[in-house]
């Protein structure tokens, strides 16, 4: 997101993806079973995953939509998600989050 912002402002920035692969940062939304949900929880999930909201996220924030019926940005500097080399989950370290945080300090 930041690189695209600077590129769109005219700075000489290029967006590249390592051929070895990159991690995919996935945002999520879920309802937790047996968590005494608010009566409007399901409505919120339906709203956030609706076509209109997903289109707005793509248009305003260059986000990649979770919906297949929402087109990606036509900006040529943004690679199509299917063309971005990803590191397979099997290659990522399988360590608890607290140990990872300790390692990077």
Number of domains in the chain: 1
**Cα separation, 65 vs 69, whole angstroms:** 9
pLDDT digits (tens, 9 = 90+) for 44-53: 999 999 999 9
| Two tokens, residue 53 | 């909201």
Give the model's pLDDT for residue 11.
Answer: 93
Is the overall model pTM greater than 0.85, yes or no?
A: no
Q: Which whole number is the average pLDDT over 57-63?
A: 84
DSSP state of 35: S
| Two tokens, residue 44 | 């919120």
Q: Which whole number is the average pLDDT over 69-85?
A: 77
Containing structural domain, residue 81: 2-103
pLDDT digits (tens, 9 = 90+) for 7-50: 888 999 888 888 888 887 777 888 888 888 788 999 999 999 99
């Amino acid at each position: 997101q930041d690189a695209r912002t600077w590129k769109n402002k005219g700075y000489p920035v290029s967006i590249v993806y390592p051929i070895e692969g990159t991690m995919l940062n996935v945002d999520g939304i879920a309802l937790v079973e047996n968590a005494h949900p608010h009566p409007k929880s399901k409505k919120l999930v339906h709203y956030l995953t609706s076509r209109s909201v997903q289109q707005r996220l793509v248009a305003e924030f260059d986000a990649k939509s979770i919906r297949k019926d929402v087109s990606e940005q036509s900006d040529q500097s943004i690679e199509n998600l299917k063309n971005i080399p990803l590191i397979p989950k099997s290659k990522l370290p399988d360590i608890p989050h607290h140990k990872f945080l300790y390692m990077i300090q």
